[in-house]
Amino acid sequence: MVPLMSVAEIQKRLTRLSPLKRKSVAKFISHLEKVDSPARRKRAARIMREMDGGLKYSQTEVDAI
């Protein structure tokens, strides 16, 4: 199990990172915010409903895109 850290501990460690590593962390956090967004979940649910309703594409159709 990964040991838990407080926000203050995480912030302290982040300040010790190089600018390149901090940028990488920032990109990762941005990615998490997009993945967890309500808009993305709503879009994914709509797509799944469409697929369940029969809207599907063959591999040939996908390859043609």
Residue 33 makes CB contacts below 8 A (sequence gap 6+) with none
Domain ranges in the chain? Answer: 8-64
Task: Report the pLDDT averaged over residues 38-64.
Answer: 89
- pLDDT of 59 > 90? The answer is no
Residue 13 makes CB contacts below 8 A (sequence gap 6+) with 5
Taking the C-alpha atoms of residue 42 and residue 48, their distance in angstroms, rounded to an integer, is 10
Q: Cβ distance 22 to 14 under 8 Å?
A: yes
User: What is the tens place of the pLDDT at every residue in 11-43?
Assistant: 999 999 999 999 999 999 999 988 888 998 899
Give the phi and the psi of residue 30 in degrees, each rounded to 5: -60, -40
